[in-house]
């Protein structure tokens, strides 16, 4: 993530710039921050999860959105693009703009090396100001590992980790389950070299 300039932008200025920008940026209380380009693994994981969610919710009152839909977090004056969002019922739009939504129930981020600290700390803190926000998934794209945070009470969150291929993630706040094998389907990890030898690229199929 890279701040484009050291100056203050209003939310309106950011939206105007974003309309014509070649690449997406986030807005955090006056600053415009360029987003890192996506990887094949990042795209595959988000696609795998969104596809399974969309099928599971075909006859249920939930909506699934991927990374091109912008989220407005009013308390933090932040515009961001979560990788996957789940909303209960019909979406609520900000200022009647159909490209900006409010009040997701579940947010999913696929971690990259450059943003994983931000997504685990500052971004999670911002998301927690959303009244409807109940669950947060952080998915590693370089290895099999998922952190699942679920809200258990006021200012209280529970953490569960998943790191084995034969495990399945069950969401706490909506009726959905996905195996890690399906989540990481067709994802290729970088080879891990041991001393004196190199390993082949691993792929889950």
Cα angle value 146/35/173 (rounded, 5°) = 35
Taking the whole predicted model, whether its pTM rises above 0.95 is answered as no
- Alpha carbon distances (Å) from 59 to 9, 16, 92: 42, 37, 20
Side by side, the strands of the sheet bearing 135-140 are 62-66, 84-88, 106-111, 135-140, 146-153, 156-162
pLDDT of residue 54: 96
The count of other CB atoms within 10 Å of the CB of residue 16 is: 12
The count of other CB atoms within 10 Å of the CB of residue 30 is: 13
**Integer Cα distance of 198 and 20 in angstroms:** 45
pLDDT of residue 201: 58
Long-range pairs, 98-104, Cβ under 8 A, ≥24: 99/69, 99/70, 100/69, 100/70, 100/71, 100/72, 101/65, 101/69, 101/70, 101/71, 101/72, 102/71, 102/72, 102/74, 102/130, 103/130, 103/131, 103/132, 104/65, 104/71, 104/130, 104/132, 104/133
pLDDT of residue 199: 47
**Integer Cα distance of 198 and 96 in angstroms:** 54
What does the pLDDT look like over 113-160, one tens digit per residue?
777 777 888 999 999 999 999 999 999 999 999 999 999 999 999 999
What does the pLDDT look like over 69-108, one tens digit per residue?
999 999 999 999 999 999 999 999 999 999 999 999 999 9
* CA nearest to 85, candidates 61, 68, 96: 68
pLDDT of residue 112: 83
């Amino acid at each position: 993530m890279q701040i484009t300039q050291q100056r203050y932008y209003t939310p309106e200025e950011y939206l105007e710039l974003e309309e014509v920008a070649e690449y997406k940026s986030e807005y955090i209380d006056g600053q415009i921050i360029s987003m890192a380009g996506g990887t094949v693994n990042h795209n595959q994981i988000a696609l795998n999860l969104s596809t399974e969610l969309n099928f599971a919710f075909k006859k249920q009152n939930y909506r699934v959105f991927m990374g091109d839909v912008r989220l407005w977090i009013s308390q933090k004056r932040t515009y961001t693009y979560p990788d996957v969002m789940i909303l209960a019922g019909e979406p609520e739009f900000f200022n009647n703009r159909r490209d900006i939504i409010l009040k997701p129930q579940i947010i999913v981020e696929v971690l990259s090396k450059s943003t994983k600290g931000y997504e685990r700390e500052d971004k999670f803190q911002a998301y927690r100001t959303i009244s409807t926000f109940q669950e947060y998934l952080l998915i590693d794209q370089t290895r099999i590992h998922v952190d699942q945070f679920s809200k258990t009470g006021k200012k209280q969150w529970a953490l569960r980790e998943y790191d084995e291929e034969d495990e399945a993630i069950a969401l706490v706040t909506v009726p959905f389950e996905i195996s890690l094998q399906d989540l990481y389907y067709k994802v290729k990890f970088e080879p891990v070299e041991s001393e004196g030898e190199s390993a082949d690229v691993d792929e889950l199929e």
